Chain A
């Protein structure tokens, strides 16, 4: 017998069940998955944008407001200048056509490589409860851009801020159906507390996460 058969048989025997699962058992499982009911959630204030901003700041994410997509390059240039960072970045394809040069920025639209220091991305949506970005992998949304650079700048529309992770799953099911290869949630700059439980920002991922909030 295969390891698979042995393990499944051991589970069933120990639970006092017949050798193979009955239709009723499969139905119970299928129904729960089809219904995917929510469990109790903590209350999140009605103003999800305020809640999101509050929590994001508490996780060492920084925030800026931009009035329109065309204003993104100016906001990026300002941030990089304030941080004393070089005016070069890589971005997701959706931002390739912005007028970066007018702001003195060198921005290339390819997935980040290890020597790229700033990565500019969008986000699928954001979770107000925890101040978290929900990101999907894909040809137009390469995950490396939010991971390898020391600075991650993300552009987020206020309209894409939802209360809890459950609402993020709801949006994903409605807009995409299946999950992409990777769904990842980002809550501030990477960090570690492995040495003497002292929180240190910038472990293997970005040292800085900066959000540009669009209306």
Chain B
């Protein structure tokens, strides 16, 4: 099923529509308020885009530098070309350390890989510990937002789910639900053999991985188990601590409307001499899985993305249909660019068109990715590769022929103006346009007055 079919179902889902309404108020206003705190926001935003471009311009050297510095501190750096390779590497690490239970903090790259299923198939217990991801794991659903994964669910749905899965009395207020999840998950934190996290950034200067979290689960996942595996895309490398600081001024503001997240954790190497906590084994997996397809071409700007979610929060299409309509891991405008490039344009036909190109996303993007521009390029590629539907191609061909034959064009326009006038009701509106139901099902089309502009222009002064 493609975006178009799914979007229709989501629009008709009353409960989802209620859940989505809150998004705009909280995240959009939150971002605006937090950005206003910065007296020189546009300078910081320019610098952030330049920092990402600097890393991408010498990506291979920065990655090698990261690898060298991380290795010097006792980390093991792996490289994976595909999602399957990521899963294989994690399974091997788990086998090597006799891992039976894995705790995870939120990671979209592992969603790409389907890592949880791969580990479960290998007989390993996997527990998502971010509250949102934990709810989704219980409900066996994919996330619908890259920052707020259960934005599509209401409190009532969570109450029902917890009551059913935890076999405890049904709680209805949010703090009680949060405490119940805390009490359910704490034993897992203490008993897990391995922690799996993503990395918002990896820092070449120090060989560190960095995650931002609010709940504290990220700190536990990277601190308590004896093995820690951080999995992230190759594009996430940032040169220096100063560079990552600039990005951290923008990521929480644009993601959740916070001036800073509760926790920012940098992890460098393994447990040091005399340390009483921290993992004994630290693995970093650098993932390609389609990212190099974006390098060097006219889509490279997309790799600046720091996964804040501002583009989807501000997108009128996302606000109307939610994340599941987009069909893969990344929804909204950034997803409509990433999904076709990662999994193939032919597998995501509707996505480049699942946008109005209104540029709310481009304006909201903290690293100045020209998202509408990139979507337009993908549309051009679709046309070049013959991936547009036949009726669209035929329609454009017919219009192209007419546009090159002015006499025929003028005749068609005159006929059309008269025909549309005849279809109008007493108020001069067309209620139902043949072949144009998509437009007239929900609104009326004002009818033309019966003559074309050129006719009237030709008769002026006569």
Q: Which residues of A approach B to under 8 Å, CB–CB?
A: 2-4, 6-8, 10-16, 21, 25-26, 28-30, 32-33, 36-43, 55, 59, 111, 114, 130, 132, 137-139, 142-144, 147, 164-166, 169, 178-198, 200, 202-206
Contact = CB atoms under 8 A, between A and B. Distances in A.
Contact of A200 (B57, B178, B274): B178
Given A43-B39, A147-B219, A194-B149, A8 B64 contact: yes
Nearest to B208: A179
B245 A166 contact: yes
A191 B268 contact: no
B177 A195 contact: yes
B93 interface: no
Contacts of B190: 114
B434 to A, nearest CB: 44
Contacts of B265: 182-185
A182 B79 contact: no
10 contacts: A3-B85, A6-B81, A10-B288, A28-B58, A32-B239, A36-B240, A42-B249, A55-B259, A195-B155, A206-B216
Given A179-B266, A194-B130, A198-B174, A29 B62 contact: yes
- Which of B38, B215, B274 counts the most chain A CB atoms within 10 A? B215
B247 to A, nearest CB: 9
A8 B297 contact: no
Contact of B220 (A147, A188, A206): A147
B132 interface: yes
A197 B22 contact: yes
A70 to B, nearest CB: 27
B60 A191 contact: no
A143 B81 contact: no
B429 interface: no
Given A11-B292, A14-B292, A196 B154 contact: yes
Contacts of B158: 195
Contacts of B129: 204
B149 to A, nearest CB: 7
B262 interface: yes
B260 A132 contact: yes
B433 interface: no
B223 A143 contact: yes
- Which of A6, A8, A11 counts the most chain B CB atoms within 10 A? A11
A184 B212 CA distance: 10
Contact of A197 (B43, B148, B260, B268): B148
Given A8-B60, A196-B22, A203-B215, A180 B259 contact: no
A206 B276 CA distance: 20
Given A6-B81, A14-B292, A192-B214, A40 B44 contact: yes
B65 A29 contact: yes
Interface stretch (B181-189, B330-338, B358-366, B449-457): B181-189
A204 B105 CA distance: 12
Interface residues of B, number: 103
A197 B151 contact: yes
A166 B246 CA distance: 9
A193 B27 CA distance: 11
B47 A40 contact: yes
Nearest to A27: B61
A21 B223 contact: no
B260 A143 contact: no
A203 B81 contact: no
A125 to B, nearest CB: 14
Contacts of B177: 195
Contacts of A14: 292, 295-297
A36 B240 CA distance: 6
B38 A42 contact: yes
A112 to B, nearest CB: 10
A37 B220 contact: no
Contacts of A26: 61
Interface in B200-223: 204-206, 208, 214-217, 219-220, 222-223
Contacts of B37: 42
Contacts of A144: 223-224, 276-277
- Which of B64, B178, B182, B239 counts the most chain A CB atoms within 10 A? B178
Contact of A203 (B216, B242, B275): B216
Contact of A165 (B85, B178, B248, B274): B248
A137 B268 CA distance: 11
A138 B44 CA distance: 33
A41 B372 CA distance: 29
Given A181-B272, A197-B22, A111 B277 contact: yes
Contacts of A180: 268, 272
B165 interface: no
A22 B275 CA distance: 40
A104 to B, nearest CB: 28
Nearest to A188: B262
B40 interface: yes
Interface in B340-384: none
B298 to A, nearest CB: 12
- Which of A16, A28, A205 counts the most chain B CB atoms within 10 A? A205
Nearest to B269: A181
B155 A181 contact: no
Contact of B65 (A33, A147, A169, A202): A33
B241 interface: yes
A211 to B, nearest CB: 15
B267 interface: yes
B320 interface: no
Given A7-B234, A197-B151, A205-B219, A143 B131 contact: no
B428 to A, nearest CB: 45
